Amino acid sequence: MNGVVILAASNYSLYSVMVAEGLLAQGISVDRIVIKKLFNLKRLWSEVKLGPFRFIRKVGNKLIFRKTKNRIRHEYSIGQNFLDGGFKATSLTELCSVAGIPVTYCDDFHSKEVLTDMRSSQPMLVAFTGGGIIRGPVLDVASEGVINCHMGILPAYRGMDCYVWAILNGDTEKIGLTTHFMDSGIDTGPIIERLHLSPERFTSISAVESALEASMPELMIRAISTAFTGKSNKEIQDASKGDQYYVPVASLRELAEYKLSENFRREDEK
Amino acid sequence: MNIIDLNEKEIGHLLSMFMNGKLEKASVQKLIRFVEFNHQMLEMRIANLWGKGSMMSIYIELILGLEMGLDRDRDIRFANVLLKLSTTKVHKKLLKSGVIKKSHADILNEDLK
């Protein structure tokens, strides 16, 4: 085996489907896909706790309108990339069935059954494509570790909604993505690659979020394929060069929206 | 240092360092994490860890530290936790009893304009 095990937040995650299909297209073996079950009380409660409006937005974006909403609203979106890129599967279950990939459904990535399934696949890498925080035992499953694509520029911005915080701090050059190996901290593992996004062309936070999401599959696939060549960059992070951020309240999100539109207006006037 | 392992005297010392801007970055980070994870039931969490008797004084020291930190360092993470705390019952009670003169939301909204 010695391929990749993919951890996915849901069966319908476009990001996970695109990463899996992209890896298969490059001839990289996907040894197993572990999918978190959607309807799990603990999971629902932890999502609601982060904010009810955020939860409703997430359900709408990720489940109900996943392929159409962002495509209509934003030029750069994961839905658009999915349709343009000729991806075939509409769910991970469908992909696993067509490609003959073993699949595990679970409530928790750390359960004994999941760990046993993952270890039996003897993967070289684990690709984390969402589903909460992962800890010790999962981090040790693959010989080369776990790769994540973080929606922020590391080491400056760790944690949640980093693009909003970067706008609030006036750090617009630090809006982007970072692929990194995961360790026991939150977004503190060795950095593989950063991708910076120019905020000047975006007028809303949701457009920035959408553009970031659109770039995640490509960056993740590149990080994994590079790891297979044994030439991954592994830049050790200096934690003192950044902070951990949490979900911003609605008024700060509105302020970020305002700052972004002002930034756009200034650029437009130039 | 883990905040939940501190005794009452140690947390008092930590908060006074925080208010005076003498707390190092890593400990400020831990303090913010503690408040962020517990903000919905912060007063209960404080009472459980350091006793009911000291709950109010610790809570007030904490929000004063956050306000002073916001003023001094312009660290918008402090604004975020203050805004989250301003929706809690204990905060509304403090506001009603006059211990706090204005709601954080009002102060910050004026400030952010």
CATH of the domain at A58: 3.40.50.170
State the pLDDT at residue A236. Answer: 96
> Residues of B with CB below 8 A from A251's CB?
83, 105, 108-109, 112
Residue range of the domain that includes A124: 4-269
- Average pLDDT of span A75-84: 74
SS3 category, A29: coil
Could you report the per-residue pLDDT of A156-177, keeping only the tens digit for each? 999 999 999 999 999 989 999 9
Let me know the angle formed at the C-alpha of B93 by B88 and B49, rounded to the nearest 5 degrees.
Answer: 60
What's the domain count of chain A? 1
Which residue in B39, B77, B106, B113 has the most chain A C-beta atoms within 10 A of its own C-beta, making it the best mutation to test that interface? B77
pTM, full prediction: 0.87
Q: How far is CA B47 from the centre of its chain?
A: 14
Dig out the tokens for A163 from the structure.
Answer: 């693009």
* Res A57: pLDDT: 74
Cross-strand pairs, A244:
A158
| Chain A CB within 8 Å of residue B103 CB | no
Question: Cβ–Cβ of B80/A246 closer than 8 Å?
Answer: yes
Nearest to A19 by CA among A30, A35, A11: A30
Residue A62 has what pLDDT?
Answer: 67
- Among A251, A258, A259, A262, which would you mutate to test the B interface (most chain B Cβ atoms within 10 Å of its Cβ)? A251
Q: Are A239 and A154 in contact (CB under 8 A)?
A: no
Write down the residue that tokens 């696993």 correspond to: A96
Q: Do A251 and B83 touch (CB under 8 A)?
A: yes
Distant-in-sequence, close-in-space partners of A205: CB < 8 Å, separation ≥ 6: A163, A164, A167, A253, A256, A257, A260
**For residue A212, what is the enclosing H or E element?**
helix A205-229
Distance CA A260, CA A265 (A): 9
Among B40, B80, B109, beta carbon nearest to A248: B80
For residue A252, is pLDDT > 70? yes
Question: What does the block give as tokens for A247?
Answer: 């979900």
User: Would you list which residues of chain A are within 8 Å, Cβ to Cβ, of chain B?
Assistant: 49, 165, 168-169, 239-240, 243-246, 248-249, 251-252, 255
Kindly identify which residue of chain A lies nearest to residue B39, measuring between CA atoms.
A49
| Residue A36 phi, psi (nearest 5) | -75, 135
What average pLDDT is seen over chain B? 84
Task: Please say if the pLDDT value at position A18 is more than 60.
Answer: yes
pLDDT of residue A17: 95
Give A203 to chain B, closest Cα distance, Å: 20
B25–A168 C-beta distance less than 8 A: no
